Amino acid sequence: MSESPITVLLIEDEESHYRLITEQISAIGCDSIDIVWAAELQEGIDRLTQESFSGVLLDLSLPGSRGMETFEAVHDAASDVPIIILTSLQDDELGGEIVARGAQDYLIKGKTDGYWIVRAIRHAIERKRIEEQLESYSRELRERNMQLETDLAMAREIQQWFMPETMPHFPAGASDEETRIRFGYRYLPSAKVGGDFFDIRRLSDTCAGVFVCDVVGHGMRAALITAMVRGLLEELANTYTTPGECMTSINHSLCDILRQPDELIFVTAIYAIIDAEAGTLCYANAGHPQPLFRTPIDKAGVSDGIGDGPRGPALVVRRSHAYESSQMIDICGDGVLLYTDGITEVTGSDGREFGAGGMLTVLRAEPAVSLDAVADGVLQGAREFSGIEVFDDDVCLVWVEIPGERD
């Protein structure tokens, strides 16, 4: 089976060198390489722009042009054609420099035979082919990355659109001072889109539902799962009277949609229903950090602490699990913090975690002037504890208060 013909342009001002190269190639019985001769630089450039060549053998010392200048002129005219430099012995170092600038190889005149010339031509053509293939892959990857960046930016806008712009009031139409349930929050995704999500909804004029979840991982996949959770919550929150029933139904639906035998999907969540009229908070926990409670100093017999209700498995782990509801009573005047573990798992210089204890320490300090300031105080406490400004994981904090005393 004969080899495909290869046409190579030799740009060389001395005819004797042209004849020597053709004779050397012929002497080894190679008839698949055809050498076309151009005696001047401009003639070679003209032929490169008008004809098709598999490669170029280029003498660096031509009338009116030498060294790097010669190479750059030919390379600019046909950057897609592999170039092999022909150089004298004293220009050996220059040959290496020009290879670093884009030539495929260099040969020293008088120091090569037909075998090495043919070998250099074939290897130069193959290396150039690989370079072009890699550049094509790189260009395709850049284009895909640009598209991914565009998709992520759009996903971030959609995810931000899901977040409540204003907090609901209880009852509807009540002023900031009159509302019977108040909220503050902070949401800090560690990437362009995050796996944390929260929702605050009005269930009645005196009842609010607060949902916080954390999808393990970051990026588009986690964001898509949070969108699914939000859609299910939208559909089911008003169907069930207890958080446990709602969480159980959400888990069933997510298992049907996401459960794969060879893939672990891990979603923790907490859903709380706050009843301002009864002064109660009822919640269900799916593998999520327990809520924190801050109690006014003058409220006798009750202290700050961590919720101790039952904590079921994370969502999408056990389809058959029935989540229980846990109720806190007499919470008028209290503050409740729901959060994701991106805040508690930050570590200090000694390796200890900030934890729920660190947050309670912040909450027990002098009360902030606003609910958002409470969340800011917790974030600042975590930053001071860890010595970092930007958290490695998504962080979500929702602070809830029922002002005043129960009637």
Identify the pLDDT of residue 326: 92
| Cβ atoms of 315 and 215 closer than 8 Å | no
Long-range Cβ contact pairs of 102-109 (< 8 A, separation 24 or more): 102/71, 102/75, 103/58, 103/71, 103/75, 104/55, 104/128, 107/57, 109/17, 109/59
For the chain, the domains span: 6-135, 163-401
Q: Residue 210: which of 141, 285, 119 has the closest Cα?
A: 285
Identify the pLDDT of residue 148: 67
Residue in the block written with tokens 């660190």:
358
Residue 326: count of CB within 10 angstroms of its CB: 19
Give the single-character DSSP code of 392.
S
Q: Residue 399: which of 111, 86, 185, 107 has the closest Cα?
A: 185
Six token digits for residue 165: 């712009």
Query: How does DSSP assign 282-315, residue by residue?
Result: EEEEESPPPPEEE--TTSTT---EE--S-EEPPB
Residue in the block written with tokens 């004969």:
2
Compute the distance between CA of residue 142 and CA of residue 237 in angstroms, rounded to an integer: 43
CB within 8 Å of 235: residues ≥ 6 apart: none
Tell me if 6-135 shares its fold with 163-401: no
Q: Which residues of 26-49 are buried (b: 16+ CB within 10 A; e: fewer)?
A: eeeebeebebbbbeebeebbebbe
Residue in the block written with tokens 């999808």:
215
Identify the pLDDT of residue 219: 66
Give the single-character DSSP code of 350.
T
Identify the pLDDT of residue 407: 42
Compute the distance between CA of residue 92 and CA of residue 85 in angstroms, rounded to an integer: 10
Which amino acid appears at position 265 of this protein? I
Mean pLDDT by 10 residues, the chain (407 residues): 76 90 88 90 92 90 86 90 83 78 84 87 89 86 76 63 77 89 87 77 93 81 82 89 95 84 79 93 95 69 72 91 90 87 91 91 74 87 91 89 67
Fold type of domain 6-135: Rossmann fold (3.40.50)
CB within 8 Å of 261: residues ≥ 6 apart: none
| Cβ atoms of 87 and 60 closer than 8 Å | yes
Compute the distance between CA of residue 325 and CA of residue 400 in angstroms, rounded to an integer: 18
Compute the distance between CA of residue 196 and CA of residue 215 in angstroms, rounded to an integer: 6
Residue ranges of the alpha helices (H) in 307-398? 341-344, 355-363, 371-386
201, β-bridge pairs: 209
Indicate the class that CATH gives domain 163-401: alpha beta
Which amino acid appears at position 280 of this protein? T
| Cβ atoms of 68 and 98 closer than 8 Å | yes
Compute the distance between CA of residue 334 and CA of residue 340 in angstroms, rounded to an integer: 20
Give the single-character DSSP code of 242.
S
Identify the pLDDT of residue 79: 87
Residue 72: count of CB within 10 angstroms of its CB: 14
CB within 8 Å of 357: residues ≥ 6 apart: none
Which amino acid appears at position 7 of this protein? T
Chain-centroid distance, C-alpha 125: 38
